[in-house]
Amino acid sequence: MNDIALQRYLNEVGPARERATGIINHLCSMQRPPQALLMTLLDVLALRRGPLRDLPLWLRTGGMRCEVLGEPGVARLMLDAADREDGRRLLLIDDLAQLWNLGKAMGMSFASLHARICEPRVGAVEHARLRRLALCRVGLTAMAVELEIAEFERQLIRALLDSCEQRLPGGGFGLRWLPARCLEAEQRTEEQRDELAELLSRDPTRAPGWARAGAALLDSYAATLDPELIRPSIDSLERVMAAL
């Protein structure tokens, strides 16, 4: 294993991870009202329900592409991830229904809840487009992209669930998709890191480009949750994707 290449990747992607951690800290801050916390939970679920609804298809396309490129390990991880996404669809609907009812019990209006679930936030559609491009068009780069997304979701959902327990009526108990996705990310990020390290050990020159792609998609995802804190340049994201 080429530890130098892996460390170069981690150094390159480090600032984006720090920005993402800052957004998580803000979103879960005790200074935000409980209603804002619930809205963030809805944002995470609505992104999967709406702009990312075809994610399993994109993962399968990327997995088959990696198979053709002679990387069965990467292909297996992506195809497994697609199956898991499909398997959680009903859990996603259950969580949305539970949070909808909780929002009404907290005095939130029908209009505000409906808009949050059914009208994608700023940047969500663009993030989905870039995610599809990364998974379906740029081959092995998808490994870095999905690792960064999984790391972010693992930290984000864990922090949100901890905040729910402390601050929302009922403590968020009964939610199903969110804990399931968090558990999967916790279990699989190590395997994804190992696969990425193996790929980089064979071609260390890929480290900077893959790190830029992972950072670009991480910024794009984080911006869908709080566009006021992070505003990635779409032009720069396009250039990263085009260069791969």
Q: Environment class of residue 235 by beta-carbon count within 10 Å: exposed (0-12), middle (13-18) or buried (19+)?
A: exposed
Of the pLDDT bands very low, low, confident and very high (cuts 50, 70, 90), residue 169 is confident
Over the range 73-84, which residues count as b (16 or more CB within 10 Å of their CB) and which as e?
A: ebbebbbebbee
First to last CA, the chain: 23
- Whole-number mean pLDDT of the chain? 89
Instruction: Specify the fold of 3-242.
Output: Heme Oxygenase; Chain A (1.20.910)
CA 179 to centroid of chain Cα atoms: 14
List the domain boundaries for the chain: 3-242
Q: What is the reported pLDDT for 175?
A: 93
Q: What is the reported pLDDT for 237?
A: 56
pTM, two decimal places:
0.90
Average pLDDT on 174-193 reads 91
Ramachandran category for residue 232: left, alpha or beta (phi over 0 → left; psi -120 to 50 → alpha): beta
Answer whether residue 243 shows pLDDT above 70: no
Integer Cα distance of 36 and 50 in angstroms: 20
Answer whether residue 9 shows pLDDT above 80: yes
Q: Quote the percentage of the chain above a pLDDT of 70.
A: 92
Q: What is the reported pLDDT for 87?
A: 94
Q: Quote the percentage of the chain above a pLDDT of 90.
A: 69
